[in-house]
Amino acid sequence: MSDGTPKVAPTESCIACSKAETRTVVLVEGEAEWHIAALMRFVSLPQAEASGTFRAYFGCDPGIVPRVRVACAFRLCRDCADKTGARVTEIGQSGIVYAQS
């Protein structure tokens, strides 16, 4: 169930460094494993933490993840994005979406 609208976390801080009022996001669309891989690559999270972060975003119990394509916007500041090479987009703008093929 994906209408293409990214979901934005209510806490307005960078997912990697917790910098407040982060206005840039990484747009990711795909199945759960895709998001977990994106968190590992773009936020440098270990796999368990990436998996836990994804579950927290979607309210899943451990070991249970949605088996559908979902779109998500992870807040990531430009400094953190530069470290991992992630392409970030200003909130409300269209930009690069890391979509699962």
Residue 69 CB coordination number (10 Å): 15
Q: Among 4, 11, 17, 47, indicate the residue that binds Zn ion (CB under 5 A).
A: 17
Q: Longest C-alpha distance within the chain, in Å?
A: 34
Which of these segments, 33-41, 47-55, 59-67, 69-77, binds Zn ion (CB under 5 A)?
Answer: 69-77
Which of these segments, 34-42, 53-61, 65-73, 74-82, binds Zn ion (CB under 5 A)?
Answer: 74-82
The whole-angstrom separation of Cα 80 and Cα 32 is 22
Residue 45: closest CA among 73, 7, 83, 100: 83
Within 25-54, the residues that bind Zn ion by CB under 5 A are none
- List interacting residues with Zn ion (CB under 5 A): 14, 16-17, 19, 77, 80
